Amino acid sequence: MAEEYFLKALAIREGLGEIGLIINIYHNLANLYRRQGKFVIALEYYRKGLNITNEAVGEAKYEDGKIKLLNGIATCYQHLGEYQKALEYNDEDIGLRKNREDRRGVAYAFMTSGNIYQKMNHFDLAESKYKESLFIFDSLKYQPGMAQSYLNLGSLYDRRGECREEELGNYQKALSLKEFLIEDELATLYRNIGFCYLKMEKPDSALFFYNQSREMYQSAENKWGLAEIEFSLGGFYADRNQHQKALEHFTESLNILKENQISDPSLESNLSSRLADSYTETGDYAAALQYRDRYSFLQDSLYTLSMNAANYKYSYEEERRENEEQLREIENLTNQTKIQHLKKMQLIYLFIGIIIILGSAAGIALLIYRQHLRKATMDREIDDLLRNQEITTTYARLEGQDEERRRVAQDLHDGLGSMLSTVKLYFSTIDAKMDLIRLESREQYSKANQLLDEACEEVRRVAHDMHSGILKKFGLKAQLEDLAETINNSKQIEVELVTHKLSGRLDTQLEVNVYRIIQELVGNALKHARASKLNVQLSRFENIIHILVEDNGVGFKENIALEKGGIGLTGIQSRVKALDGKIAIDSTLGRGTTVSIDIPYQPQEALLENH
């Protein structure tokens, strides 16, 4: 269903030539398939979006989309085993983020680098990138990134086949921050802890965490993760000579890869090796030979891909070797210098004095640097507080304007309207005495009575217009344009409003309900998201009103937000449910929020469009 609406929206945006929205739709489509483990299809959509950004030369406003697409392409190539291409796109991603001084983005890109090196079995390089990522997140006090970094450092030792004290410490730190991990990441953490218990010869604990991990992957509908945990369970039983059970899990893992068109040469290679071993143990030598041949073929392919990637990083390795040689030369020179210093004590004291002076200077410089960092951090926090206060004030002003309009309308109706009605009542008592009034006075009375009727009618009209506002008078599109203009004038957040097929009017009550839903979504973004950009789309398809609201803010964990009844989600869901609509929320900590709503309506609810 989500894919269908994305493709419909894509066709519309391509027809209108809206490049920025086309790029976003390709990115969303690719993410949809990547979460399902369909990396080949995801890669196709990522590359289509990237081609558009490359054609829009000099358009800096599309750089955000380009960065997201590069990261997605690198991740897909990593899972497909094409490590050289993964590194090339990841390096381009890092370069763009560094130019923008996006430290958090650079940390996430370093994390992707570590994942690629880990797949290539370059564990030292992977560890270096993970630690660089952790250092940046820690300096930013960004806990979601710290949690992911600790998880990656722990899983690195799993790949090495080790379980050391340092690994357990990383897992404990990740567990202490588990509220910042999404369900897929938490499932991976539990799987890794299970592996660690296995190495510590605690099979019952290992099996418990493996089963917990499988349940979480199933709940998250993460097929690739399910294939991984089934492989781990197969290994658990194979190591205990329960080869029939092992075959069940290994076969299930392989079936998940095939049924969902998941291409993971590394996992398939490991599966083929373990299947060959288990079939040998059960006496099925034909099947064992088949999987042994498959294993050899995959290993050859992986070796070729790994060698290509290694050549790509040859210059880096060469530089590291040169540095090591220089260090060894320095050590040799140091030893020779020590011998000379034994003969010349005066030189020793001289060098000691120099070292003390340099050390003191370095200490002072470090102290100044730390003070500078603390001041910069405090300045950022103050800027954030001021910005949040200004956004809150803007939203309050929007609500206040509506309330003031309703209050003035009520005062007109209750105050001046009642007063004019009373005057009219007094005038009516004169009707009974019209015979006693002269003809000239009668004409003046009739004219005054007519003017009084017109005044009463005018007060009622003004009060009604003020109370109903722009929405009832000019329609939903005009009201949304007024809302976007008001927020944009505040200069605190950039709102982009896009409408499709709203030239005509809808049923008044439906327009009010749709406006209130969008108003609440915009209000949530203003109050909670800490975003700099907000995209609001409203489209009318056949029998469906489609609402899409996206922001680039801090995001949230949907399940926790709903359990706590927070950030306005419950009220919005109630409104949508009352209209028999459907709502989908896609949000990740640190990566913004997308809310998609479909509301059905009968064709007769739409008035004739203006052509």
Q: For the segment 533-556, what is each residue's pLDDT rounded down to a tens digit? A: 899 999 888 888 999 999 988 887
Among 172, 166, 226, 162, CA closest to 200: 162
Q: How far apart are CA 111 and CA 127, in angstroms?
A: 10
* Number of domain units in the chain: 3
Kindly report, residue by residue over 487-526, the tens digit of the pLDDT: 888 777 889 999 888 777 778 788 888 988 998 888 888 8
Q: How far apart are CA 493 and CA 214, in angstroms?
A: 42
Single-letter code of the amino acid located at 126: A
CATH number at residue 284: 1.25.40
Q: Which tops the pLDDT comparison, 407 or 260? A: 260
Q: Which of 75, 101, 127 is the last residue in one of the domains? A: 101
Q: Which tops the pLDDT comparison, 327 or 443? A: 443
Q: Where are the alpha helices (DSSP H) in 412-540?
A: 417-431, 439-474, 476-489, 508-524
Q: How far apart are CA 133 and CA 111, in angstroms?
A: 6
Among 290, 249, 256, 252, CA closest to 273: 290
pLDDT score of 1: 61
Is residue 266 within 8 A of residue 303, CB to CB? The reply is no
Q: Which of 259, 294, 313 is the last residue in one of the domains? A: 313
Domain assignment present for 116: no
pLDDT mean over 354-383 = 71
pLDDT score of 211: 94
pLDDT score of 323: 44
Domain assignment present for 257: yes
Q: Which tops the pLDDT comparison, 300 or 572? A: 572
pLDDT score of 71: 92
Least confident of 14-18, 430-434, 444-448: 430-434
Taking the model in full, what pTM does it have?
Answer: 0.48
pLDDT score of 455: 75
Q: Which of 313, 341, 374 is the last residue in one of the domains? A: 313
- Whole-angstrom CA distances from 475 to 482, 509, 581 are 11, 11, 21
pLDDT score of 263: 73
Sign of the Cα torsion 239, 240, 243, 248 reads negative
Q: How far apart are CA 548 and CA 531, in angstroms?
A: 16
pLDDT score of 280: 92
pLDDT mean over 364-370 = 78
Q: Which tops the pLDDT comparison, 40 or 424? A: 40
- Whole-angstrom CA distances from 222 to 15, 30, 154, 590 are 34, 15, 21, 21
pLDDT score of 352: 82
Kindly report, residue by residue over 384-402, the tens digit of the pLDDT: 543 454 445 555 555 566 6
pLDDT mean over 420-439 = 63
Strand partners for 551: 534, 593
Q: How far apart are CA 196 and CA 188, in angstroms?
A: 12
Domain that holds residue 253: 234-313
Confidence band, pLDDT 50/70/90 cuts, at residue 223 = confident
Domain assignment present for 494: yes
Strand partners for 92: none
Least confident of 161-170, 311-320, 466-475: 311-320
pLDDT score of 463: 60
Q: How far apart are CA 521 and CA 516, in angstroms?
A: 9
Neighbour order of strands in the sheet with 593-600: 494-500, 533-541, 544-551, 593-600, 582-587
Domain assignment present for 603: yes
pLDDT score of 382: 38
- Cα dihedral: 50, 117, 37, 163 (round 10): -150
pLDDT mean over 90-119 = 91
Among 150, 221, 215, 224, CA closest to 189: 150
Domain assignment present for 170: no
Domain assignment present for 348: no
CATH number at residue 40: 1.25.40.10
CATH number at residue 589: 3.30.565.10
Kindly report, residue by residue over 299-358, the tens digit of the pLDDT: 776 566 555 545 555 454 554 455 456 445 535 544 565 566 566 676 776 778 788 888
Q: How far apart are CA 381 and CA 387, in angstroms?
A: 10
Q: How far apart are CA 555 and CA 226, in angstroms?
A: 26
pLDDT score of 204: 92
Q: How many CB atoms are located within 10 Å of the residue 378 CB?
A: 10
533-541 and 494-500 beta bridge pairing: parallel
Q: Which residues contact 582 (CB under 8 A, 6 or more apart)?
A: 576, 597, 598
Domain assignment present for 346: no
Q: How far apart are CA 332 and CA 138, in angstroms?
A: 37
Confidence band, pLDDT 50/70/90 cuts, at residue 405 = low
Q: How far apart are CA 283 and CA 230, in angstroms?
A: 23
pLDDT score of 267: 82
Confidence band, pLDDT 50/70/90 cuts, at residue 260 = confident
With a cut of 70, say whether residue 276 has pLDDT above it: yes
Is residue 78 within 8 A of residue 112, CB to CB? The reply is yes
Residue 603: is it exposed, middle or buried by C-beta count within 10 angstroms (0-12/13-18/19+)? Answer: exposed
Q: How far apart are CA 515 and CA 4, in angstroms?
A: 25
Kindly report, residue by residue over 579-598, the tens digit of the pLDDT: 999 999 888 887 889 999 99
pLDDT score of 441: 67
Domain assignment present for 244: yes
With a cut of 70, say whether residue 602 has pLDDT above it: yes
Is residue 462 within 8 A of residue 416, CB to CB? The reply is no
With both helix axes pointing from N to C terminus, report the angle between 417-431 and 439-474 in degrees, rounded to the nearest 10. Answer: 150
Please give the mean pLDDT across all residues of the chain.
Answer: 78
DSSP state for residue 414 in the 8-state scheme? I
- Looking up tokens 């005044």 gives 455
Q: Given phi > 0 = left and psi -120 to 50 = alpha, else beta, which region is 221?
A: left
pLDDT mean over 8-26 = 84
